[in-house]
Amino acid sequence: MRFKTIRSRVAIVATLFAVVLVATIAVGTYALVARGMQAAAIETAGLLADVAERVTRNTLDTARERAESAGMDREEAQAAMLAAMVEEPPAPFAEGLAYEGSFALHVIQQPGDEPVMVWGVGESHEAGDETLRMRAFTGDGPVADFPGAQPLIRGMFVRADLGVYSYYLPLELPGVHAAVLDVAYMPRDQEAILDATRLPITVLGLIALTGSLLAAMGTTRRAISLIDDLRRTADSVDVGVLDVRLPEEGGTEVVDLARSLNRLIDGLQRRNEVQARFIADASHELATPVAGIRGYVNILRAWGAEDPALQEEAVSAIDRESRRMARLCSDLLSLIRSEEQVEYRQIRYDINAVCREVLANAATRYLSKELRFTGPREGPLWLHGDPDRIEEALGILVDNACKYTPDGGSVSVTTRRSRDRVVVDVTDTGVGIPEEDLPNVFERFYRSDISRSQETGGFGLGLAIAKHIVDVSDGTISVRSTVGSGTTFEISLPRQRVR
Ligand code: ADP
């Protein structure tokens, strides 16, 4: 995992915060619950002891009163009290208490001896790890095991999970010097766990808190300084100053932003360069006919009046050059219009019909060259796109084919399906394009030497316009050619709308 991006750093900070928060809440809840349960255990044990004492005393007092009113001696009274306890065990402890588990008080009678009453607990109950015990003690110590013990009082006890609490309830019982009712709760050592974990959790929490604060501050400072750098550099970028690039170091999102902005500046710079070259090329192309016109105007001024033949020649040259200028202006306008951000239509059209239309127009224009035209003969081949734009592009290719093919040659347009695309080939038997010119023919104002020398009159803008139209239509255009035998331009278009 990389920790360079602002997102990952923020995630770490957030995780640290979350850990601290959850740990604090967990410890807090644990402490609260523990305290609550301890309180419940204390209260329950206290109530148990209280009730046990009261019930026991009542029973014994009643037995003693009965024995005294019957005029019994001490030993008889003790026996009667014991019998009362055995025969009429006190009612179960108060019903209002929510008890769980059970306990019992037992009367112990040693075989052969005087009955010795010892209060004890014969049953202890386990609930999970916890044990609630009620034990009785004689003066000689705790009473552990009495096989003959009779259950005297049965009751329930509340289960509590935390704390160690005992109530030693001294009982004065007949025949026993001292007996103690011990209500105790034997717990796990949660308190100790709490104590043991409190310090490390506090320290860890503080460390995590400090760490996350420092990390947050560091991340914020770094991000702000990167953004400051970007802003300063971006401020220095201007239309005329496009050789500035934003720093792309590190791996944060800010660097991604810098990369995107740099790409944008690259694009602007390229566009600027293309535009500058275009203006230079266009000015150059315009300068040639203007120079010609001016030259012939000078000739006319100097000798036109005396020499009608020269006058005629100059006027027709001026006419030719001005027509050339007009054509160049029209080509430039077509190029600019083709590059305007106008939406291309997306309609279903038959490409074969478009091809036939283009060929028919060319046949009319180039009638005098006696070319042989072949178009697609098949039925409709449907495409989605802008048929007018595609007709314009095909028109340029067919016009070139006618221009650069000697009289009597042939120009053909064929179409075929190729998976989800349609391929249109425009083939001629013309002069061809030298191999070294092939990569450049789609550039603006590019003309191969052959066509220049033949003075066919183009400005090298047609293929740039055609390529732009095909590009915007999500198609591709390519060329293959052999000098002296002919040229094929291939356009591949998607059958369905792409975007
Ligand atoms: P132009 O107006 O000069 O024809 P284009 O952009 O249409 O401009 O074509 C650029 C150059 O590519 C042409 O000047 C020519 O040298 C060459 N070219 C284009 N089409 C053909 C073709 N069918 N046969 C031979 N050369 C061609």
Residue 352 and residue 299 share a domain: no
Q: How far is the CA of 219 from the centre of ligand 1 (A)?
A: 59
Distance 194 CA to ligand 1 centre (A): 90
pLDDT for residue 139: 37
23-50: pLDDT as tens digits: 777 777 777 666 666 666 556 556 665 6
Same domain, residue pair 116 and 23: yes
User: What is the pairing mode between strands 347-350 and 141-142?
Assistant: unpaired
pLDDT computed for residue 485 by the predictor: 93
pLDDT in tens, 246-270: 777 766 677 787 888 888 888 888 8
Q: Which of 251, 343, 340 is nearest to 8 (CA)?
A: 251
- The pLDDT, as a whole number, for residue 175 is 43
Confidence class of residue 390 from pLDDT cuts 50, 70 and 90?
Answer: very high
Domain boundary among 308, 337, 366: 337
Where helices occur in 175-246 by DSSP H, the ranges are 190-236
Where would I find the beta strands (DSSP E) of 341-482?
Answer: 347-350, 372-374, 382-385, 410-418, 421-428, 476-482
Residue type, 253: E
Comparing 106-115, 204-213, 423-432, 449-458, the range with the smallest average pLDDT is: 106-115
Total domains in the fold of the chain: 3
Is 392 domain-assigned?
yes
Residues with CB under 6 A from ligand 1: 396, 400-401, 404, 428, 430-433, 441, 446-448, 451, 458-464, 487
Q: Identify whether 290 is part of a domain.
A: yes
Question: 31-45, 201-215, 246-260, 396-410: which range is least confident on average?
Answer: 31-45
79: its two tokens = 């026996």
Structure tokens at 141: 């110590």
Mean pLDDT along residues 227-250: 74
Residue 81 placed within a domain: yes
d(CA 221, CA 169): 68
Distance CA 37, CA 372 (A): 105
Task: State the distance between the two ends of the chain, measured CA to CA, in whole angstroms.
Answer: 37
Q: Which domain holds residue 262?
A: 253-337
Residue nearest to atom 14 of ligand 1 (CA): 447
**CB-based contacts of 451, cutoff 8 Å, min separation 6:** 403, 404, 431, 458
Using the mean position of ligand 1's atoms as its centre, give its distance from the Cα of residue 398 in Å.
11
**Domain CATH number, residue 437:** 3.30.565.10
Q: Give the pair of three-digit tokens for residue 369.
A: 């060259």
CA distances for 51 relative to 123, 151, 230, 415, 475, angstroms? 18, 17, 80, 106, 97
Residue 327, in any domain of the structure: yes
User: pTM for the full model?
Assistant: 0.53
Please tell me whether residues 271 and 416 are part of one structural domain: no
Q: Which residues pair with 131 in a beta bridge?
A: 126, 186
Q: Max CA-CA distance within the chain?
A: 179
How is residue 418 written in tokens? Answer: 């190729």
> Could you please report the per-residue DSSP string of 8-44?
HHHHHHHHHHHHHHHHHHHHHHHHHHHHHHHHHHHHH
In this structure, is residue 118 part of a structural domain? yes
Q: Do 68 and 179 fall into the same domain?
A: yes
